[in-house]
Amino acid sequence: MKQQIKCYDTQACIRCFACMINCSVENRVRLQREGVMNVEQSVQATMPHFNYLTPIRKEIGVYPNARQVTAFHHCNHCENAPCQGICPTGAITTRSGGEVVINAKACIGCQSCGDACPFDVPVYSKENGKAYKCTGCYDRVENGLKQSCVEACPTLAMFSGNAENVIEEAKKRAALYTEKTGKKYIVYGADKLNDYVGHLKWITIVEETELEAYKLDTKPERTLMQWRDTAKVAGAVMTVAVALGTTAHFIYWLDKRKKKIAEKGNSHEN
């Protein structure tokens, strides 16, 4: 299956939050489909850890030119997925479409994924000791359907599909907005951000000077996690070096021992 990408167009969004509602409904219905809960439980139970798509409204500018923007806190389904790399049980995997998914059955609730994620996405549920985050609706995508948030959007502010096609459409829109407004619009996440996360599977069309307002980090990283990885590599190198040094010393000692024995044998013969 070809890599799938989802795009959020900040200029086409009308802040209706249909995406958020459909996301919540889909995840509750998924519990019904998987036999985890019956209909009544899935509808009535409070499950904040299933809020995979959280809108963040903020006012920017100064009156009378002030206006509201809507950012979204969500999983970016990173190309390198730090959460997957750090998971000690292999509970986090990347599907064929690029969706990074947590297998709740294999999750031990160590919360390492949350420590490694530079976007603070994975949520830990104290109720069952598991970590949760957006699944990218991989089950829908693999059956030819759109993600629930994309399906609900009435203005095509969210759209998805083959990576090349989505990026091409996003760049066309960004160029159009730049031409019409005189302000530079970019496609955040379409290009590699850094080695820690790589490219993103959720990209955003945004005015370049408003990246911070939309909570879009251009250098996402977790320094402690990177130091940990460096320490692991350094530790492995040191272990090999010590092993080689010990082996070399043993060979040297053995050779020296053989020479002494040989010298003693020669002295007795004389």
Q: What is the pLDDT of residue 43?
A: 72
Are 70 and 55 in contact, with CB atoms under 8 Å apart? Answer: yes
37 confidence band (pLDDT: 50, 70, 90): confident
Q: Is the pLDDT of residue 227 over 60?
A: no
DSSP 92: E
pLDDT value at position 46? 75
Element (H, E) at 202: strand 202-207
Q: What is the 3-state secondary structure (H, E, C) of 134-185?
A: CCCCHHHHCCCCCCHHHHHCCCCCEEEEEHHHHHHHHHHHHHHHHHHHCCCE
Q: Return the pLDDT at 235.
A: 53
pLDDT in tens, 48-76: 788 899 889 888 888 888 988 999 999 99
pLDDT of residue 243: 60
Higher pLDDT, 59 or 31: 59
Assigned token pair, 107: 């999750």
Cβ density class 135-148: b for 16+ within 10 Å, e for less: bbbbbbbeeeebbb
**Helices and strands (H and E) in the chain: how many:** 8, 10
Alpha carbon distance 43, 49 (integer Å): 14
Mean pLDDT of 28-54: 79
Would the pLDDT of 236 be above 60? no
Task: Give the position of tokens 């064929």.
Answer: 96
Q: Residue 128: which of 64, 207, 45 has the closest Cα?
A: 45
At 171-217, the pLDDT tens digits run 999 999 999 999 999 999 999 999 999 999 999 999 999 999 999 99
